[in-house]
Amino acid sequence: MKNIAIIISIATLMTGCSSTDKMSSNDKEFAYSEYIATENLTSERRVNSFKLSAWKPLTDKFLVINTFKEQYLVEVSHCLHLEDAMDIKLKVSSSLVLTTNDSLFVLNTPDSSNFECQIKSIYPVTKEQSNLIESIGKA
């Protein structure tokens, strides 16, 4: 619990130091990486019985993916326009399984391009952790 307080303090401090009311993507990515380390989150190589129900972009390197029962913080290779994407499509090697060998496509980008991004890490998180992660960098 004290780790969550530390992360909130870091996020608040970084937000307070910003000249705008939002953290930069680099600052958010640093905060997400710090959260992963502080909370000792462990990446899974594969998620079985995976069925996407929702997703939320955080930056061009991180997003939260929800199934009907679980949430995941997912890190991808730098993915141009992920932060502003309206839609994604997962390219999986096996149905109902998500792995770190899979990728996603960013669809409906501002310049009408589609970008493929490799999934680097899949971190299972609780609903509370997901909510906290999504709140990082918001005023």
Q: What is the pLDDT of residues 117-139, one digit of tens each?
A: 999 999 999 999 999 999 998 86
In whole angstroms, give the CA distance from residue 76 to residue 64: 11
Q: Which are the contacts of 71, defined by CB distance < 8 A and separation ≥ 6?
A: 64, 65, 124, 125, 126, 127, 129, 130
pLDDT band at 21 (very low <50, low <70, confident <90, very high): low
3-state secondary structure of 15: helix
**Among 97, 91, 86, which residue's Cα sits nearest to residue 76?**
91
Is the pLDDT reported for residue 82 higher than 60? yes
Q: Name the least confident of 13-22, 39-48, 102-111.
A: 13-22
Mean pLDDT of 81-92: 88
In whole angstroms, give the CA distance from residue 72 to residue 139: 23
If one compares 73 and 83, the residue with the highest pLDDT of the two is 73
* Average pLDDT over the chain, rounded to an integer: 85
The whole-model pTM stands at 0.82
- Classify residue 82 by burial, with Cβ atoms within 10 Å: 0-12, 13-18, 19+: buried
Is the pLDDT reported for residue 15 higher than 50? no
Amino acid at 17: C
How far the first Cα of the chain sits from its last, in Å, is 22
Is the pLDDT reported for residue 18 higher than 50? no
Mean pLDDT of 66-75: 95
